[in-house]
Amino acid sequence: MSQRNVLAAVLWMAGALLSFSATAVAVRSLSAGFSVFEILSMRNGSAVLMLLGMAVLRPALRPGLRARRLPLHLVRNAVHFISTDAWAYSLTLLPLATVFAIEFTTPAWVALLAIPLLKERMTRGRLVAVLAGTVGVLIILRPGAATLQAASFLVLSVAFAFALVAIITKKLTATESTFSILFYMNLMQLPMNLAGVRSLFWQRLDTIHLLPVAGVCLCGLLSHYCLTNAYRYGDASMVVPLDFLRIPLIALVGWWLYQETLDPFVFIGSAVIVSGLVYSLRQETKTP
């Protein structure tokens, strides 16, 4: 890959990391008064409105309203719907850093699936990044009775589902615009989430909810915009390991906002992860 594409992928992933972390905090803030389905319905509904508004103002985006690979969109969004709702639910059961750490088995799944499904090469740099990331996660989790609980296995299943979504997203970027992928994601998932809503939940919204709702709606859309563009510039097996950096970031957020214990093992494991990523990115810029 060229240095320009690697840099673009890294910058887009940086935006995704910040946006996903902000979304997680917003979900945690709203979870006391709203269900996961209600929170994600807000995100999907607002995204559809914002994207339609963008299409009205920018005619160049309108072709994205016509999907050319509708069945693949449907598969992606069904898997993403199930995994996202399970992920949001897990945020209410486990510490943020624990959820994110278990979730980061995703790069290993992506690296394995990308070889047969996307015909990507498993270079030495990418292998080092995945192995270092996995070792870093094991250091953070220190597997034992404390982490081997039902909620942990739920997050592990989510990680595999996210890997499938990453593979399908990469396939879609070959023919579909970022706008189209985001529009059909939210359009298809909105009725899925509304099906789980039991009341007119928007009537319970108050002024204290404005900031977290804005976080879910804006950052939820921005995170997937950044992530999709990262896949556009880089191979899935190169882009996804960058997401490991969300672990130390969310650990600091959990400590700052929720007084969650700032475990030194999080930063030891993160140092291992970062070293693998630095090596991988250097290798990517050398690969033609």
Distances (CA, A) of 235 to 14, 67, 99, 228: 16, 23, 25, 11
Residue 165 has pLDDT above 80, yes or no: yes
Q: Compute CA 211 distance to the chain's CA centroid, rounded to the nearest angstrom.
A: 21
% of the chain with per-residue pLDDT over 70: 90
Residue 99 has pLDDT above 70, yes or no: yes
Cβ contact 251:97 at 8 Å: yes
Helices (H), 36-177: 36-57, 70-90, 96-103, 106-118, 124-141, 150-172
Confidence of residue 161 (pLDDT cuts 50, 70, 90): very high
pLDDT per residue over 167-216, tens digit each? Answer: 999 899 889 999 999 999 999 999 999 998 878 888 888 888 999 999 99
The letter for the amino acid at 190 is: L
57 CB neighbour count, 10 Å cutoff? 8
pLDDT per residue over 16-46, tens digit each? Answer: 888 988 888 898 889 888 988 999 899 999 9
Confidence of residue 222 (pLDDT cuts 50, 70, 90): very high
Residues in contact with 103: Cβ distance below 8 Å, sequence separation at least 6, in sequence order: 87, 155, 158, 159, 162
Output Rg (C-alpha) for the chain, integer angstroms: 18
- The C-alpha atoms of residue 47 and residue 246 are separated, in whole angstroms, by 24
In this structure, what DSSP letter does residue 62 have? G
Residues in contact with 106: Cβ distance below 8 Å, sequence separation at least 6, in sequence order: 159, 160, 162, 163, 166, 240, 243
Residues in contact with 80: Cβ distance below 8 Å, sequence separation at least 6, in sequence order: 161, 165, 185, 189
* Residue 143 pLDDT: 62
* Residue 65 pLDDT: 92
- The C-alpha atoms of residue 95 and residue 99 are separated, in whole angstroms, by 6
Residue 287 has pLDDT above 60, yes or no: no
Across 122-129, average pLDDT: 81
* Residue 13 pLDDT: 85
Residue 149 has pLDDT above 70, yes or no: no
* Residue 279 pLDDT: 82
pLDDT per residue over 74-95, tens digit each? Answer: 999 999 999 988 877 887 787 7
Inter-axis angle of helices 264-286 and 3-30, to 10 degrees?
Answer: 150
Take residue 187 and report the two structure tokens written for it. 């359009």
Across 209-237, average pLDDT: 87
Tokens 């995945």, located at residue: 130
* Residue 180 pLDDT: 94
% of the chain with per-residue pLDDT over 90: 27
- The C-alpha atoms of residue 75 and residue 114 are separated, in whole angstroms, by 17
Residue 117 has pLDDT above 90, yes or no: no
Residues in contact with 159: Cβ distance below 8 Å, sequence separation at least 6, in sequence order: 102, 103, 104, 105, 106, 109
pTM for this predicted structure: 0.75
Residue 49 has pLDDT above 70, yes or no: yes
* Phi, psi for residue 191 in degrees, rounded to 5: -65, -30
Between these two residues, 124 and 107, which has the higher pLDDT value?
124
